[in-house]
């Protein structure tokens, strides 16, 4: 009888205590759904839209300046690529046709038929006009400058003019490539300053408090580099192309000088 009571009592106590322990464990464990919501609410938002919402007057000015610089730089890049393609596509035909004509009058007439943007025809026409003007002049002009010097001066002016025309837009490309990273850096510094102000105002140093300003700062840096890098590449490419074209200008001008000053092209047949 006593043995049955001893065995029964622990079993009863164990049975009644088990639910209590289970309830305490369940109450202490956090709900998975609530934890998920908390993590979601505390996540830092580094998206572009969130950064744009935190942009102040200074960074809006930086952003607009970078966009305008990029638009103008790309405009010059596209226009100059088209211009160089048109010049290179006609240079061989223009120069070869000029030297293959039977006389100077036909050569000049051929050059006059070329488009106004074609540089080699302009150089040849300036040279022909200088030669004709010197031939018609009398008195002091012929005495002050001989035919060779007068034609050489006209050719130098024509080559310098066409060389300067090739450089249109390159100043903007060089300026954009040089200062765009620093303009983006200004936005970065200002964004970090706003982050520090946000920390001081909120009294907390969590990543959520500074996510917007930091994202803004990083975006300004990326935009500045994205504007500068294509501009620098375009400037270097156009600079190299200009050097090649200017060398062709000089070579063509030397041949023109020899022909209009002496009546024969060096290395070519007399016409």
CA distance 111 to 125: 7
- The answer to whether 188 touches 220, Cβ cutoff 8 Å, is yes
- The answer to whether 266 touches 253, Cβ cutoff 8 Å, is no
- What global pTM score does this model have? 0.72
**What's the token pair of residue 76?**
């010059």
> With 0-12 CB in 10 A as exposed, 13-18 as middle and 19+ as buried, what is 84?
middle
Spatial CB neighbours of 270, under 8 Å, sequence gap ≥ 6: 263, 264
Question: Tell me, what's the pLDDT at 106?
Answer: 84
Question: Tell me, what's the pLDDT at 191?
Answer: 78
Q: Which carries the bigger pLDDT value, residue 12 or residue 239?
A: 239
Mean pLDDT of the chain: 77
Closest C-alpha among 90, 54, 76 to residue 198 = 54
CA distance 136 to 142: 9
Map out the domains of the chain as residue ranges: 2-30, 48-262
Q: Which carries the bigger pLDDT value, residue 164 or residue 102?
A: 164
Question: Tell me, what's the pLDDT at 19?
Answer: 46
pLDDT tens column, 202-257: 666 666 666 666 766 778 889 999 999 999 999 999 999 999 999 999 999 999 98
14 pLDDT exceeds 50?
Answer: no
How far apart, in Å, are the Cα atoms of 247 and each of 125, 129, 130, 241, 242? 19, 23, 22, 10, 8
**What's the token pair of residue 41?**
């609410």
73 pLDDT exceeds 90?
Answer: yes
Lowest mean per-residue pLDDT among 51-65, 112-126, 240-254: 51-65
CA distance 147 to 136: 11
- The answer to whether 81 touches 242, Cβ cutoff 8 Å, is no
In this prediction, residues 58-84 reach a mean pLDDT of 93
Torsional class of 169: left (φ above 0), alpha (ψ -120 to 50), beta (otherwise): left
């Amino acid at each position: 009888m006593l043995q049955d009571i001893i065995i029964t009592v622990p079993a009863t106590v164990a049975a009644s205590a088990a639910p209590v322990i289970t309830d305490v464990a369940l109450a202490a464990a956090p709900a998975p759904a609530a934890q998920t919501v908390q993590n979601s609410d505390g996540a830092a938002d580094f998206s572009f839209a969130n950064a744009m919402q935190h942009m102040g007057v200074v960074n809006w000015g930086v952003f607009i300046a970078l966009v305008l610089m990029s638009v103008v730089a790309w405009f010059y890049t596209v226009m100059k690529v088209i211009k160089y393609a048109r010049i290179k596509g006609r240079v061989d035909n223009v120069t070869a046709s000029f030297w293959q004509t039977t006389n100077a009058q036909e050569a000049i007439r051929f050059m006059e038929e070329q488009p106004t943007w074609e540089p080699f025809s302009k150089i040849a026409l300036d040279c022909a006009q200088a030669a004709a003007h010197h031939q018609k002049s009398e008195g002091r002009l012929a005495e002050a400058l001989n035919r060779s010097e007068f034609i050489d001066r006209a050719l130098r002016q024509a080559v310098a003019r066409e060389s300067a025309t090739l450089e249109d837009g390159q100043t903007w490309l060089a300026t954009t490539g040089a200062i765009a990273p620093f303009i983006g850096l200004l936005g970065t510094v200002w964004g970090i300053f706003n982050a520090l102000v946000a920390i001081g105002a909120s009294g907390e140093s969590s990543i959520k408090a500074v996510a917007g300003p930091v994202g803004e700062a990083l975006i300004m840096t990326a935009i500045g580099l994205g504007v500068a890098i294509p501009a620098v590449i375009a400037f270097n490419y156009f600079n190299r192309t200009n050097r090649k074209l200017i060398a062709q200008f000089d070579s063509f001008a030397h041949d023109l000088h020899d022909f209009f000053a002496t009546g024969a092209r060096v290395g070519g047949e007399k016409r």
